[in-house]
Amino acid sequence: MTRIRRTPTGEPPERPPMFLPQALELFIEIEATPRHQRGPKVYNDKEHELARLLGLTSEWWNGNSVCDDSDAPCWPPGLTAYQNWFKVRAVRQALLAAAEKM
């Protein structure tokens, strides 16, 4: 008789991240905002709300945002914000891919 394994072996298959519809809509709205209008309090409030919807509030307080399109972190490697930048960047890439499919 063959023995059936009940526990999976190896890594689970990659699944695309799921975003709340409000988060994706807000991201698209923020991305459409011209750069010269990205300073006012209204923009910052929307950016903070997006971070809250994505579960990235602590990263937002570190100065990282999914709205940041820079190529590399501006912090030195010893800071938490440096590590957070890579996490936030991955979420940004996933948001851009999801927005492209809409």
Residue with structure tokens 């960047």?
89
At residue 100, the 3 state secondary structure works out as helix
Q: 16-32: per-residue pLDDT in tens?
A: 568 999 999 999 999 99
User: Which tokens sit at 86?
Assistant: 């890579």
Q: Which of 39, 21, 30 is nearest to 69 (CA)?
A: 30
For residue 5, pLDDT over 90 is answered with: no
User: Which tokens sit at 15?
Assistant: 């699944």
Average pLDDT score, the chain: 88
Domain boundaries, the chain: 21-100
Q: Which of 44, 43, 51 is nearest to 22 (CA)?
A: 51
